[in-house]
């Protein structure tokens, strides 16, 4: 499959295409993708994580928390971006808005389930020892919620990277998606090369977050970052 060879050559040349000097380099596009994705993820985490955690701590709002996840999953990235483009014009702000809308559901749902699902006996014991609500949250619930919580963040992160590239299909320039959508200029080898970069980027982001998760997981719970959740209820909604 010589296309892959050509693709790797494309990558090796940092995206330079003979006869088209003005094209942005792969490094630039990759970093741009990362930047856009990071901003979107950061906002989504800032909004969704505390909300999900708080609802889970109070054991309220389960219907909303879980169904937000269901509905969020039904929203195609392309449609959200296209709607943004049609009604607001696709600038960075609108793209970030779309990213946040798509990233919030998995984060909220998983954060809710993670904190809500902490063994009630443990929380009860903590309360019996005189810990306040906030102390319980910080000392008992959050540490135990890390695996499931991070599963949500990792899902959202990959989703955000993916959507950033899809934004190119809607007309947003400034990500590796530009290359994939622009076969005329980059030829198929370029498209393939960019696809490889996108895949690598997503895996790298997920891997990095897995390391962070590992670092934050309390000693006693540590297992592989890819551990299968054996709890059926959790498996039901984790993605």
Could you list the residues that contact other proteins (CB under 8 A)? 1, 3-4, 7, 70-71, 73-79, 82-83, 85-87, 158, 161-162, 165-166, 169-171, 177, 180-184, 188, 191-192, 194-196, 198-199, 202-203, 206, 224, 226, 228-232, 235-239
Pick left, alpha or beta for residue 182 (phi over 0 → left; psi -120 to 50 → alpha; otherwise beta).
Answer: beta
Of the pair 129, 203, the CB lying nearest other proteins is at 203
Closest CB 170 distance from other proteins, rounded Å: 6
Of the pair 95, 136, the CB lying nearest other proteins is at 95
Pick left, alpha or beta for residue 125 (phi over 0 → left; psi -120 to 50 → alpha; otherwise beta).
Answer: alpha
Closest CB 138 distance from other proteins, rounded Å: 29
**CA 162, CA 198: separation in Å to the nearest integer?**
8
Closest CB 222 distance from other proteins, rounded Å: 15
Q: Are 155 and 48 within 8 A, CB to CB?
A: no
Of the pair 90, 123, the CB lying nearest other proteins is at 90
Long-range CB contacts for residues 79-87, cutoff 8 Å, separation at least 24: 80/163, 81/163, 81/166, 81/167, 81/169, 81/170, 81/172, 82/170, 84/170, 85/170, 85/171, 85/172
Q: Are 26 and 197 within 8 A, CB to CB?
A: yes
Closest CB 5 distance from other proteins, rounded Å: 11
Vertex 176, ends 174 and 178: CA angle to 5°? 65
Of the pair 46, 235, the CB lying nearest other proteins is at 235
Of the pair 107, 202, the CB lying nearest other proteins is at 202
**CA 72, CA 196: separation in Å to the nearest integer?**
27
Closest CB 213 distance from other proteins, rounded Å: 13
Of the pair 12, 46, the CB lying nearest other proteins is at 12
Closest CB 131 distance from other proteins, rounded Å: 31
């Amino acid at each position: 499959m010589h296309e892959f060879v050509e693709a790797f050559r494309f990558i090796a040349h940092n995206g330079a295409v003979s006869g088209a000097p003005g094209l942005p380099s792969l490094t630039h596009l990759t970093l741009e993708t990362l930047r856009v994705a990071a901003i979107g993820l950061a906002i989504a985490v800032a909004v969704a994580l505390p909300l999900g955690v708080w609802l889970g701590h109070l054991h309220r709002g389960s219907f909303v928390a879980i169904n937000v996840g269901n509905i969020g999953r039904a929203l195609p990235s392309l449609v959200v971006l296209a709607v943004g483009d049609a009604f607001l014009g696709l600038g960075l702000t609108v793209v970030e808005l779309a990213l946040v809308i798509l990233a919030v559901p998995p984060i909220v749902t998983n954060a809710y389930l993670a904190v809500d699902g902490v063994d009630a006996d443990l929380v009860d014991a903590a309360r019996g020892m005189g810990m306040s609500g906030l102390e319980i949250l910080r000392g008992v619930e959050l540490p135990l919620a890390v695996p499931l919580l991070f599963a949500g963040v990792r899902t959202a992160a990959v989703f955000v990277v993916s959507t950033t590239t899809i934004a190119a299909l809607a007309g947003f320039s400034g990500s590796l998606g530009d290359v994939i959508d622009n076969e005329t200029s980059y030829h198929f080898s370029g498209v393939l090369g960019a696809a490889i970069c996108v895949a690598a980027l997503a895996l790298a982001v997920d891997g990095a977050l897995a390391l962070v998760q590992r670092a934050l997981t309390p000693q006693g719970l540590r297992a592989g970052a890819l551990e299968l959740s054996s709890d059926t209820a959790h498996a039901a909604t984790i993605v």
